Amino acid sequence: MQLKPINQQVVVVVGASSGIGRETALRFAKGGAKVVVSARSQSGLESLVKEITEFGGEAIAVVADVEHFEQVKAIADKAVDYFGRLDTWVHVPAIGLFATFDNTTPEEFKHVIDVSLMGQVYGAMAALPHLKREGRGGLIHVSSMEARRSLPYQSAYSSAKHGVDGFVDAMRLELIHDKWPISVTSIKPAVINTPFWNNGLTKLGVKPAGVPPYYDPRLVANAILHAAEHPTRDLLVGDVAKILDVLHRISPQLTDTLLLLVGFQFQRSSGVPKSEDDPNNFYEPVPEHDRVDGDYNHLVIPSISDFIEQNVPLQWGAIAAGSILAFLAAQAWNKS
């Protein structure tokens, strides 16, 4: 399966007004792609398109709410009407609800599912006919490490992310079976420093936070751009995401123990009260949060595994180094 170089692509980025989506749209445009950006926030999209055009990029905006299939379909149709085709669809939007399960209403739980799961479903449904007409392309779904391991206070969000993996895996198999050269990628970030934590509806009495460390949203954008040119099944972003994934596979009980130690305390920011009525994007966008970075820059760390994963020469170097060390260890063992 071969994907076009980024500078030859028409890319749709849904959820582009802030955070990962905004940085991803900027990166695609800087790489020479023609970009269609979408979100609920008209002001966020306008400022993004302005930023892109100022450095010579080409972008158009479509205001849409991913809860509604017809609005999502309109994004794909606009991309094809304006640029003539669609090559890569990147779907990012999700909303956060921070509350215990028994303090979550049925309507709130459903709303998280409608945005964070059904929105992803609608994106794939809207994009696939256009990708099939082109005969190739990529679907990139931004999920979460919570697709592999749920966290307390986030039962609805974790459910949505598990659901994303469910339909993506089934859809990928169907495309392979029917011999469609369409790449389907699930991106699973660890805790990322975006305005997600500002935007979440909280019933905890304080501003919600991620379990540190945090990672730079640019790492996720790197993974998305990598997947847009290199067919990839899954990409976990952030060393902690990979460690937690392995730990959970080995021992879910051990993961439970770890999360009992850190999962409750660290999702409650100390000294920053916040009520359910304070600004959040659960039902409406918050324009002042239309930016890439969140409030936790001081807790951001680098990720070594992501750097290696997206650099093929380094991958081979790591494999070679590991093989040499294993060989030397075996030799030393035999001589002892």
Question: Catalytic positions, please?
Answer: 157
CA 41 to chain centre: 18
Contact 58, 50 (CB under 8 A): no
CA 156 to chain centre: 17
Q: 213 preceded by cis ω (within 30°)?
A: yes
Alpha-carbon distance 298 to 318, whole Å?
A: 30
DSSP tally for the chain: helices H, then strands E: 12, 11
Helix, strand, coil percent values for the chain (each to nearest 5): 55, 15, 30
Question: Do strands 10-14 and 34-39 pair parallel, antiparallel, or not at all (unpaired)?
Answer: parallel
Contact 195, 291 (CB under 8 A): yes
Q: Which amino acid is at 317?
A: G
Token pair 């540190």 is found at: 212
Most distant CA atoms of the chain, gap in Å: 71
